[in-house]
Amino acid sequence: MIEIILADDHALITEGISTMLQDASDMEVVATFQNGQEVLRYLQIRSVDLVILDIDMPVLDGIETAKAIVANHPGQKFAILTMHDEHALIKSFVTLGASGYFLKTIDKDELELAIRQIVEGRTYFPIDVVTALADSTVGTSFYRQYDLTSREIEIITLLSDGLSNKQIGEKIHISPRTVDTHRTNIMRKLDVSNVAGIIRFAYKSGLVKP
């Protein structure tokens, strides 16, 4: 069972996310808090698989909480769930070691996928966050110029991990045939002829790190 802590000073947010995740048989929200200080007190007693933090919280905000987690609880995975998509703010959390940065517009399926991916040891940054991180000198996003959807970005990442169509389908709950359709669309958009070309793009763009 994936154990999760949520921290947000708005009860509607923590209640809403907890409700969203209730249907996932492999996940459990074990505690919700309204500020970072409460999170740190809890982590002194026990660790969890993932801490999801808001940024704007009283007493101790998400930034200071993340710093304290890194300093005092090495190895503890944490992600950010916020309405802020400013480039500098996202970059600061990436630098701190956040495993994910989600906007509160994220849907249920993507959130579940993100949590599973993080717990498996990878990171998860949705396309809207990737766009915000893109080099501002490019003008339009490096990813957006290829008209890639968030699902296509996700499949590029999984292909780069060496997963087959069947494995990808099982992981993100779609059929292998649908994966193949996405893969065909990705190759057309990137103007490449095989999976190797997709993987080269993933490394060149920085979507996947060597």
133 pLDDT tier (thresholds 50, 70, 90): low
Residue with tokens 């947010």: 13
| pLDDT tops 70 at residue 108 | yes
State whether 102 and 152 are in the same domain.
no
Whether 122 and 142 map to the same domain: the answer is no
With a cut of 50, say whether residue 138 has pLDDT above it: no
Nearest-angstrom CA–CA distance, 172 and 111: 11
Residue 171 DSSP SS3: helix
Q: Which of 70-79, 100-109, 137-146, 193-202 has the highest mean pLDDT?
A: 70-79
88 and 115 co-located in one domain = yes
The answer to whether position 170 is within a domain reads yes
Which pLDDT score, from 0 to 100, does residue 128 have? 62
* Highest mean pLDDT, choosing among 11-20, 68-77, 186-195: 68-77
CATH code assigned at 90: 3.40.50.2300
Pairwise pLDDT comparison (29 vs 147), residue with the higher score: 29
**Is residue 172, in this structure, part of any structural domain at all?**
yes
Asked whether the whole model's pTM tops 0.85, one would answer: no
163 domain-assigned:
yes
109 and 160, same structural domain?
Answer: no
Number of domains in the chain: 2
Domain that holds residue 45: 2-126
- Amino acid in position 205: S
* 13 plus 39 within the same structural domain: yes
Same domain, 14 and 92: yes
Looking at every residue in the chain, the average pLDDT score rounds to: 85
| Domain annotation covers residue 131 | no
Q: How confident is the model at residue 95 (pLDDT cuts 50, 70, 90)?
A: confident
Instruction: Report yes or no on 132 lying in a domain.
Output: no
143 and 200 both lie in a single domain:
yes
Q: What pLDDT does residue 136 have?
A: 39
- Name the domain boundary from 70, 102, 126: 126
Sign of the Cα torsion 2, 93, 108, 171 reads negative
